[in-house]
Chains A and B, each alone.
Chain A
Amino acid sequence: MKIIVLMKQVANKDAILRINKEETWIEEGDLSFEVNESDGYALEEALRIKEKTGSGEVVVCSMGPQRVKSAIKDALARGADRAIHVVGDNLQHLSPFAAATILAEAIRNEQADLVLTGLQSDDYGYAQTGVIMAELLGLPHATIVIEVDASGERLRVKRELESGWYQWYEMPRPALLTIQSGISQIRYATLKGIMAAKKKEIKEVTPSSDAATTRPSHQRIEKIYFPQKTKQTQFLGNGDAKRGAAELAEKLRTEARVI
């Protein structure tokens, strides 16, 4: 089985974020980066499926500037077989539709049996790129997947729904799944894996001008800012302690949602 895993490199979780001069994004100059969390679980799931079926190939695909190579190498060290790097300087800021278009083009010829992505990226958090890609590739898809059974002719996947509900879902292959974080224990990159990764193929591709320009983003970020802290004082009960207590309980229940 050939499985493609889409992985994005995002700012490190503990990084101190500063807003750029244009107030349109974070300042990336001196940031450290890591693999998007749910993409790491997607890779782990792919490696497990490959191990269970006993054969096949896990191909990692990532998009962005050269620094993305470190995320790719990390995936190769953990066990992916080869990689496709869609190289470009501003690709990580594309709209989900534009990103999905370019990524779909980069992997279309691979004819994968399964395409896995993380549920969403930890930076923009659109949670749409995977779904749109499925549409562009003509694949069925399932989102927020927490378990995959690829042993049969058809796929069985478990999805997380609202309020602690789950859903088992059967679908044909090939398919695209977006994977939820925290569903398994991600393996370490062993030293052997790290050294073996040096010899694995990383194919660089550039998006065709067609994909990059004829599908312009229909959205842009106006302004980015830190949450503003505000302090408000409200007097409850209008002097009546009993009424004040009732109002407080109501507010704690409906506004603060702590009781």
Chain B
Amino acid sequence: MSAVAEKEIIKGGAFLIEERTPEEIFTPEDFTDEQRMIADTTREFIDNEVRPRIPELEQKDWTLARELVRQSADLGLVGAVIPEEYGGLGLDQTSGTLIAENMGRAASFAVTFGAQTGIGTLPIVYFGNEETKRKYLPKIVTGETIPAYALTEAGSGSDALAAKATARLSEDGKFYILNGEKMWISNAGFADLFIVFAKVDGDKFSGFVVETGEGVKTGAEEHKMGIKGSSTRALILQDAHVPVENLLGEVGKGAKIAFNILNIGRFKLGAACCGGMKLMITESTRYANERRQFGKSISSFGAIKAKLAEMAIRTWVGEAMTYRTVGLIESAIGDVKDPNAKLKAIEEYAAECSIIKVALSEYCDFVADEMVQIYGGYGYSADYPAEQAYRDSRINRIFEGTNEINRMLIPGMLMKRAMTGKLALLPAAQSLMDEVLSPSMPGFDEDEGVLAAEMKLAQNAKKVALMTLGTAAQKYMMALADQQEILMGVADIITDAYAMESAILRAQKLAAAQGEEQSARYLDITRVFCNDAVERIEAHAKNTLAAMSEGDELRTLLAALRRFTKLTPMNTIAARQRIVDVLIKANKYTY
């Protein structure tokens, strides 16, 4: 983190109202040697030990799944971010995220590993009492114990708090007796313990560590569309006796556990998507180079080039967003060791975590879809890698909170921070509205410096976000949460604004370090992305503004929108060709 300037902590959501310099943000170019080596070890392990055995995992060989977890644990991957006193290595979030990214190459095993190290373990790390931590964590770290996370029920998915599972205290006060049925539990087929959410006294939503044993059964394996090499089953609890000390946190505080753990899961999911995308691009590039039609490699055709280029663009931009966010979390955590303080630091960036989740899972699906298309008929055949990648990728838009729930959370959480005074969003929106309504047009400055024009676009994109969010808040007030279509549109504007700025800052940092000539391809990526993002932003803004206002007000807002999305189109076709030439020559993803 030495490359990131020492500054006071940047607030969560502040990206929307503040400007940043390249030195202030963390980028993949700032990884330490150790972090790079950790990434290398993970990638080597996945490529050598896991990927060749995916077909066996797909045949539900859970003995192998356990063995691979144990092998990854031997390397230290499972315990990387677990505190040292519980057998882990106590490494930073960046290292953990790099591990998650490279796990993204491992198809189903990424899900197995994610449950092992994330949702199945972190509730104990952050909410377990000392005894629970000492009892369970060391064996999870060595891979001897496989944990799983049981939140969803048949009738409560996105509405997790509507769970029907119950917990009642036994008469002697020594146990909670749990009853209910949980759904879609990753690793359920071979898990040794479950993090279970149930209601005490009918309404106090609480978390428990439940070991397998009497009253704890799992259902049959689910027949899923993808990630078939990970176990997914229902969990059935019938008078399962759970020692009272296995309560996580406090009675009635389960929501805090469930949602905080998901925040972490979301940026890790983004990172995993990133790793998956890099692999898919490498495979697509190799195929496009090898496959010959009309006497030429199909990679020489513009139609294929445009696809590969856009796949690379979204991957590079997504990576910039992910590690920028991890950098924010890292600097907020600092040297803090206390789990509660750590969690608070992560919670600070809950909106950013949702942005990463939505953006990266959709970039990943885009890349998987284009991979199928590049493979053509072979893309539709299960004998080639595109088919499985396409199916496996799809879950990312569903789990860790559906992308719809996350989209609503993005403006929702920003507004919440604004209302509680943590983020000066409302004054910023107000002054923007004054600017919009004032008849005088602000003069256009001459843009100077690398990507100055794009930075202007990004700043304006943020203004569009503020304008739409501000208009929505004014019109619907407390009822804004019900306006889902508006919220989704605003979320997409905010997401693109964050993506644009993250890409620009990363490219500027690269240009400063390597010179403009050496970093030309990154500048191309950034320019193309910004060019396209502005058009998406404009469409979403028109759509939402037209739904919220009419007459003169709408005309004024649309005039402002035109000003904020003013863009001289660039030659994206030539830029994409330059971007893709690098891939085609390297025969792999190199950005």
- Chain A interface residues toward B at CB < 8 A: 14, 16, 30, 69-70, 73-74, 77, 188-192, 194-195, 197-198
Contact A190/B76 with A77-B37, A195-B89 known, Cβ cut-off 8 Å: yes
Partner of B38, one of A14, A16, A30, A191: A191
Q: Is B41's CB under 8 angstroms from A30's CB?
A: no
**Which A-chain residue is minimally distant from B585 (CB atoms)?**
A16
Query: With an 8 A cutoff between CB atoms, is B175 at the interface?
Result: no
B142: min CB distance to chain A, Å:
13
Residue in A16, A69, A188, A198 whose beta carbon sits within 8 Å of that of B41 in the complex: A188
User: How far is the CB of B576 from the nearest CB of chain A, in Å?
Assistant: 20
Q: Which of B41, B44, B518, B588 contacts A191 (CB 8 A)?
A: B41
CB of B185 within 8 A of chain A? Answer: no
B74 within 8 A of A: yes
The chain A residue sitting closest to B36, CB to CB, is A70
Partner of B588, one of A14, A189, A195, A197: A14
CB-based nearest A residue for B32 = A198
Contact B518 A190 (CB under 8 A): no
Docked Cα-Cα span, A190 to B588, in Å, equals: 26
A-B contact pairs, 7 of them (CB 8 A): A16-B586, A190-B75, A191-B38, A191-B77, A191-B89, A191-B91, A194-B34
> Which listed residue, B41, B518, B586, B587, touches A194 by the CB 8 Å rule?
B41
Kindly count the residue-residue contacts between A and B in the assembled complex, taking CB atoms under 8 Å apart. Answer: 43
**Contact assessment for B34 and A189 in the assembled complex, using a CB-CB cutoff below 8 Å:** no
Grouping DSSP codes into helix (H, G, I), strand (E, B) and loop, the A interface class, with mixed when no group exceeds half, is helix
Residues in chain B near residue A14, CB distance under 8 A: 586-588
How many Å lie between the Cα of A224 and that of B466 in the bound state?
Answer: 59
What DSSP secondary structure best describes chain B's contact surface?
helix
Question: Which residues of chain B have C-beta atoms less than 8 A from A74's C-beta?
Answer: 37
CB-based nearest B residue for A186: B44
Judge whether B33 is part of the interface by a CB distance below 8 angstroms.
yes
**B80 / chain A contacts, CB cutoff of 8 Å:** 191
CB-defined contacts of B76 to chain A, threshold 8 Å: 190-192
A190 to B75, CA, bound (A): 4
Interface residues in B18-60 by Cβ distance below 8 A to A read: 33-34, 37-38, 40-41, 44-45
Given A14-B588, A73-B33, answer yes or no on A194-B38 (Cβ-Cβ < 8 Å): yes
Q: Which of chain B's residues have a CB closer than 8 A to the CB of A195?
A: 34, 89, 91
Measured CA separation A239–B500 after assembly (Å): 69
Residues in B with CB closer than 8 Å to A30 are: 518
Q: Which of B225-239 contact A (CB under 8 A)?
A: none
Complex contacts, A188 vs chain B, CB 8 Å: 41, 44-45, 75
Q: Which 6 A-B pairs have the closest CB atoms?
A: A191-B76, A194-B37, A190-B75, A190-B76, A189-B41, A192-B76
Please give the distance in Å from A85's CB to the nearest CB on chain B.
Answer: 14
Q: How far is the CB of B69 from chain A (nearest CB, A)?
A: 15
Contacts of B34 in A (CB 8 A): 194-195, 197-198
Bound CA span A94–B80, Å: 42
Residues in chain B near residue A70, CB distance under 8 A: 33
Interface string of B557-591 (1 = CB under 8 A from A): 00000000000000000000000000001111000
Q: Which residues of A contact B585 (CB under 8 A)?
A: 16
Q: Which residues of A contact B77 (CB under 8 A)?
A: 191
Q: Which of B54-76 contact A (CB under 8 A)?
A: 74-76
CB distance from A258 to the nearest CB of B (A): 22
Q: Which residues of B contact A192 (CB under 8 A)?
A: 76, 89
- Residue ID in chain B nearest A15 by CB atoms: B586
Q: Which residues of A contact B41 (CB under 8 A)?
A: 188-191, 194
Cα separation A74 to B41 with both chains bound (whole Å): 10
Closest partner residue, chain B, to A187 (CB atom): B75
Known: A190-B74, A191-B41, A192-B89. 16 other contacts (CB 8 A): A14-B586, A14-B588, A16-B585, A30-B518, A69-B33, A70-B33, A77-B37, A188-B41, A188-B75, A189-B40, A190-B75, A191-B91, A191-B95, A194-B38, A195-B34, A197-B34
Once bound together, how far apart are the Cα atoms of A73 and B76, in whole Å?
18
Cα-based distance from A77 to B33 in the complex (angstroms): 11
**Distance, CA A220 to CA B586, complexed state (A):** 30
